[in-house]
Amino acid sequence: AQTVTQSQPEMSVQEAETVTLSCTYDTSESNYYLFWYKQPPSRQMILVIRQEAYKQQNATENRFSVNFQKAAKSFSLKISDSQLGDTAMYFCAFMRLTGTASKLTFGTGTRLQVTL
Amino acid sequence: NAGVTQTPKFQVLKTGQSMTLQCAQDMNHEYMSWYRQDPGMGLRLIHYSVGAGITDQGEVPNGYNVSRSTTEDFPLRLLSAAPSQTSVYFCASSPLRVGGGYTFGSGTRLTVV
């Protein structure tokens, strides 16, 4: 079974600064997907970024980028130029790479507060 | 295109009552699933389905039933509500092809008193 660990329950960052959220995972699989989801106070789950394990290049989406270290089983999220709208709960998630849709396994989340 | 629609958004039940949380999607996704979210525990899988007539248990299935009679609908039934089932419930759907992204509903906040 796969496990996902987010060791930072809460973090705070000032507007315009950069913050990194940590995520580690445990799996015996060699091919898989990793995700970061954002959950603002509205409760909606929003996909932030996705990484395919067989791709060595780190994924980037505008101000969001990841540092994917496959050997270390680490998948951190960097948010650059933080904005007040980035205030949310962030979840790291794992999915096996199979021929069909697979279950998402989530971490416990990191609550990020962006301050003025 | 409505995506994934969950109803109701809020519900209060008394211990022992039963109810059904509704989930419908209009994207023709084969894969549908139910998660519950509890503080400090992330989202945990309750049940999932890979197509009409096919369901399976997730990590925390006890106290819940599901059925999938159509591609569009995947209701979650609480048979006899308990305070331990107080939680936020999310329905999500995905195409069956590998790498298809999940689309989540807006969630149902359930309180059992």
Percent of chain A clearing pLDDT 90 (strictly above): 81
Q: What local confidence, expressed as pLDDT, does residue A99 receive?
A: 64
Task: Give the distance from residue A82's alpha carbon to the nearest chain B alpha carbon, in angstroms.
Answer: 24
pLDDT tens for each residue of B58-106: 999 999 999 999 999 999 999 999 999 999 999 999 987 766 679 999 9
Q: What local confidence, expressed as pLDDT, does residue B55 receive?
A: 94
Task: Give the distance from residue A90's alpha carbon to the nearest chain B alpha carbon, in angstroms.
Answer: 10
Tokens representing B94 are 């995905």
Q: From CA B112, how far away is CA B13, in angstroms rounded?
A: 5
Confidence of residue A96 (pLDDT cuts 50, 70, 90): confident
Q: Which residue of B has its CA nearest to A53?
A: B99
Mean pLDDT of B11-35: 96
Q: What local confidence, expressed as pLDDT, does residue B100 receive?
A: 63
pLDDT tens for each residue of B24-68: 999 999 999 999 999 888 999 999 999 999 999 999 999 999 999
Write phi, then psi, for B50 (nearest 5 degrees): -105, 5
* Residues on chain B bordering chain A, Cβ-to-Cβ distance under 8 angstroms: 30-31, 33, 35, 40-45, 48, 50, 58, 88, 90, 92, 94-102, 104, 106-107, 109
Q: Which residue of B has its CA nearest to A52?
A: B99
Q: What local confidence, expressed as pLDDT, does residue A41 receive?
A: 92
Q: Which residue of B has its CA nearest to A38?
A: B104
Q: What local confidence, expressed as pLDDT, does residue A103 receive?
A: 85
Determine which of A21, A45, A48 to mutate to test the interface with B (most B C-beta atoms within 10 Å).
A45
The answer to whether residue A106 scores a pLDDT higher than 90 is yes
pLDDT tens for each residue of A54-68: 888 999 999 999 999
Q: What local confidence, expressed as pLDDT, does residue A56 receive?
A: 85
Task: Give the distance from residue B8's alpha carbon to the nearest chain A alpha carbon, in angstroms.
Answer: 14
Least CB–CB distance from B98: residue in A4, A42, A100: A100
Tallying the residues shown for chain A, one arrives at 116
- Residues of B in Cβ contact (< 8 Å) with A21: none
Of A18-22, A52-56, A82-86, A95-99, least confident by mean pLDDT is A95-99
Q: From CA B4, how far away is CA B106, in angstroms rounded?
A: 8
The answer to whether residue A29 scores a pLDDT higher than 90 is no
Intra-chain end-to-end CA distance of chain B, in Å: 36
DSSP state of B97: B
Q: What local confidence, expressed as pLDDT, does residue A2 receive?
A: 83
Percent of chain A clearing pLDDT 70 (strictly above): 97
Tokens representing B95 are 């195409």
